[in-house]
Each structure stands twice: as structure tokens, then as C-alpha cells.
Amino acid sequence: MRRLTLAVLLIAVLAATAAGVPFVNTAGPGPWQHVSVRGEPVEVYGIGPYRHMPADVAVQGLAQDLVTLAAGIPFLLFAWWWARRGSRAGHVALCGAVAYLFVQYFMYLGMGTYNELFLVYVLLVGLTFLALTRLLLAVPTANFAVNLPAARRRFVGVFLLVNGTLVALLWLSVVVPPLLAGTLYPADLANFTTLIVQGFDLALFLPPSLLAGYWYLKQRPAGELLAPVYVVFLSLQMVALLAKIVWMAARGVSAGPALVLIPLLLLGAIMAAFFALSALAAPPKRDPSVTA
């Protein structure tokens, strides 16, 4: 517990640094035009750590940083306190909070252009990965089994299946049409070498949503832990995505289908997290065959 406490506190400090510096460091030449290797003009942000990123992507990073400072880190510390009290729900909440920060800075390592925060991102990805692995393996998955009402269990399980499917279809709608048209490169590729978010989501982060939903519906032990963790993570992630959409809209950039999809998924994630955590917050049922 002492090592976990140190890890959580260090993660909180590093995340606050990584998320806070872009608002403090505003040095740079300002916006400027760049021609990508595909011959397309790209407006570069030109300010702070995100100065070499496309302007539309840089403001999304700022939006996520703001959510991390206002919600991600406070929730991490609250979940750590909750878990220290021996709560199963607190343990799941802590897993979800650490997963949110792991995914955020995993994406930053792949998508953010090299800047002065690179080693901070490296430390955050390493620490959150180790902490999340340790937390997920610390308690047998069977300990998280709950007698959740059938309707609520169906909601959580089906929501995770729908989330994974809809987001996968959203990303495929970006990738597949240019392939069919023979143009190959999506219009929003800007100066990136590939579609980082779409690739990582399709390969790594969406399959667990589908598996967790299916296992939760089937009441398999792995699903009893993975599904609640995923909906907690997703609640934080969807808040960040909604903040990105709002910030982009303020700049006059259309969010397309995500403008409707993300708020609906945020509402569903919060409801699913409430159902799962409220069931886990109750004391585990004792086996009547075991006597004190």
C-alpha cells in the first residue's frame, strides 16, 4: 500500500506538470503555415509544447489537459482514498482513473510532436502501466462478482458492446472511404505520418470494450472487474472528448457525427459506471456454507 501510495502521488504530480505546462509556457512564433509531405497546407499551432502540431489538434490537447487538471487528477486522488478504505468500488474507480491517464499519455507519446515534456510522458506511461497492471492483478476477479439486477447488468454490458462498435465504425468511416475512392489519404491527416488515434483505438483500446461487455453479460469473472473499470475510464475519457468538441466548435471546426455520438456515450458511460460502482460499494455477500 505504501508503494502504491507513492506511485499514485507521483503520477498525480507528473500529470499536473504535463497538463499544466501548456497553459503556462506560451512561447513560440505563433500560428504559421506548413506544407505536409503530401503537399497539403496545414496551420501549425506555434505556441508552447504543442507548437509543432496542427492547430486543430493542439487545441484538443489543451482541452484534454484542462479536463485532466479539473477532473482526472482530483478523481485519481479521491479514488485512491476510497480504495485505501478497503472498498471494492474504490479499487475499481482507482483502476479506471489510472487507465484514463495511461491512455492519455500513451496517445501523447505517439501523437504529440517531440517537445520538452517528452520524458514526463515517458514516466507517466511507465508508472501508470505498472500501477494499472498491479491493481488489476492485486485481487482475484471473482471478488468483484455482484448480484446486479438483470436490467442494470444488461445496460452495462450492452453499452460496452455498443460503445466499441460505434467508435470502431466512426474510425472506419475515416479510413475506408479514401481506400475505396483510391485517394488513400484521409482529409484530416494533416502533417501526421499515420492515423495514430484511430490505429491505437482499433488495435488496442476498443477490443477490451467489446470483450468486457460480452463477459459482463455472461457473468464471467474477468468481466466482473474489466467492465466496471472500463466504464469508469470511459466516463473520464468522454468528458475529455466532449471538451475537445466544444473547443473545436469555438474555433469554427465541425466535429461531424462525434458532436452527437460523444455526448450520448458520455451519458451512457456515467450511467453504467453508477450502476457498476453502486453494486460494488455494497458489502460482498457471504457464502452461507462458511461459518465464522
pLDDT tens-digit series, residues 151-174: 999 999 999 999 999 999 999 999
Q: CA geometry: angle at 41 spanning 35 and 42, to 5°?
A: 90
Helix (H, G, I), strand (E, B) or coil at 42: strand
Q: Per residue in 233-277, pLDDT tens? A: 999 999 999 999 999 888 887 777 888 899 999 999 999 999 999
Could you report how far apart the first and last alpha carbons of the chain are, in Å?
27
DSSP code of residue 71: I
Task: Tell me which residues of the chain have a pLDDT lower than 50.
Answer: 287-292
Across the strands, what pairs with 35? 41
pLDDT at 286: 52
Alpha-carbon distance 205 to 203, whole Å?
7
Per-residue model confidence (pLDDT) at position 284: 66
Query: What is the model's pTM?
Result: 0.94
- Residues 6 or more apart whose CB falls under 8 angstroms from that of 265 comprise 163, 166, 167, 234, 238
Instruction: Tell me what pLDDT residue 143 has.
Output: 93
Phi-psi region of 78 (alpha: psi -120 to 50; beta: other; left: phi over 0): alpha
